[in-house]
Amino acid sequence: RAIRMQSLRNRYGAWALVTGASSGLGEEFARQLAAEGFNLYLLARRRERLEALGEELTELNGVECRSLAIDLNAAEFLQDVSEQTAGTEIGLLVNNAGFTNYGKFLENDLAAEENLVNVNCRAITSLAHHFGGLMRDRGRGAMIVTSSIVGFTSVPVWGAYAASKSYDLLLAEALAVEWKPHDIDVLALCPGATRTEFADYQGLSARLFAMDTKAVVSGALKNIGRRTVYIPGFLNRMNVLTTRFLPRRLSARIFSVLIRDMVHE
């Protein structure tokens, strides 16, 4: 594993940027990348968590960690990211940050739905455009975009979230083709239920066969440069496969029932 990961560092560069790094998959990406020698920019809103994680990773692995306490919902977030990373070659972008709103669309707060689109779609796009352009100019790089298995279908009461993850999935698939001539690898990571703060908040961890973050992240890092879409877990792959054969309306109805059963209302 170390040899394989070291080759990623040699191929893409010494620095990685991880969004949503204060918990969950983002934190685990930071841990595994630091363990293999990547210097890190850690981006999330909670500065104290970022700094504590950075100090821990520096002590354990001897890497340099820089905290970016930035709200991806803010209108000018990209300017802050650009200024604070200027002069550093970001070879691997882990476009991971995201959140969900659960409930019937018209009963949800409009501002909350707009914030979801800002973080899950606009921020993903802006970061991909900015760092993708720099990678293209250098002729190397990689990006991982965290989508979801619900990105393969519509999900009532998770409508905006599933739609945002579909956007992330399709954008990553398109960029994987566009960027390949520039030697930039792109991977869409599509996990199912994973044991994270997000899953605990939604009540999913106790109700599903939730995967461990370590397995999800290690699988993603193993498959970057090998494939465009990675779905961790046999059951998750089977769930996605069924959406390919069912009519979209029927698939939406099935997922609606499943989500109501899985999530605390």
d(CA 128, CA 33): 19
161 labelled catalytic: yes
216 with 28: CB under 8 angstroms? yes
d(CA 166, CA 254): 18
Extended strands (E) in 4-85: 15-19, 39-44, 65-69
Of 164, 146, 171, the closest CA to residue 100 belongs to 164
**Whole-angstrom distance between the N-terminal and C-terminal Cα of the chain?**
42
- Active-site hit among 161, 167, 201, 230: 161
d(CA 36, CA 3): 9
175 with 132: CB under 8 angstroms? yes
d(CA 229, CA 188): 5
Active-site amino acid positions = 161
